[in-house]
Amino acid sequence: MAVKRIWHGWTTHENADPYQELLHKEVFPGIESKEIEGYRCVELFRRDLDDEVEFITIMTFDALKDVIDFQGKNYELCYVPESAQKLLKRWDQVAIHYDSVEKRVHRI
C-alpha cells in the first residue's frame, strides 16, 4: 500500500512556533524540491506538554525504494538541518518505517 516514515523532535515552548514556521517555509519545501517520484506527502503533528513541545512528522512514500531515493542507502538515519538543530532540544536520530496495510475512510 504505502510506507510511512515517522520521526519525533522536541523543543521548548519558546521555540515551538519558530520551529513550526521553519518546517513550513524551509524544510518541507526542501523535501518537495527533491521531486522524489514516490513521495506523496508529509503530515505534521504537534503536542504541547508541560515542559516542552513534541513534533511528529509522518511522510508517505509509495515504497521503501522511494525512501531510499529520498534519504540514501542508510535511509533510517535522519537529516536535521542546522537551522532546525538550533531550535530543537532533542530529536530522533533514526526514523521508523511502517508498511501501511489498511486505511479505512468513513464517509457519511
The yes-or-no verdict on residue 1 having pLDDT over 80 is: no
- More confident position, 93 or 79: 93
**Contacts of 31 by beta carbon, 8 Å cutoff, 6+ apart:** 39, 42, 59, 70
The DSSP line for 1-67 is -EEEEEEEEEE-HHHHHHHHHHIIIIIHHHHHHT--TTEEEEEEEEEE-SS-EEEEEEEEESSHHHH
Look at residue 75 and tell me if it is in a domain.
yes
Q: How many domains does the structure of the chain reveal?
A: 1
Each residue's pLDDT tens digit, 2-51? 999 999 999 999 999 999 999 999 999 999 999 999 999 999 999 999 99
The 10s digit of each residue's pLDDT in 24-33 is 999 999 999 9
**0.95 exceeded by the pTM?**
no
Residue 107 included in any domain: no
User: What CATH number is given to the structural domain containing 48?
Assistant: 3.30.70.100
Q: Is 87 within the bounds of a domain?
A: yes
Domain with 48 in it:
2-100
Does 70 map to a domain? yes
> 85 phi and psi, to 5 degrees?
-60, -35
Asked if residue 82 is part of any domain, the answer here is yes
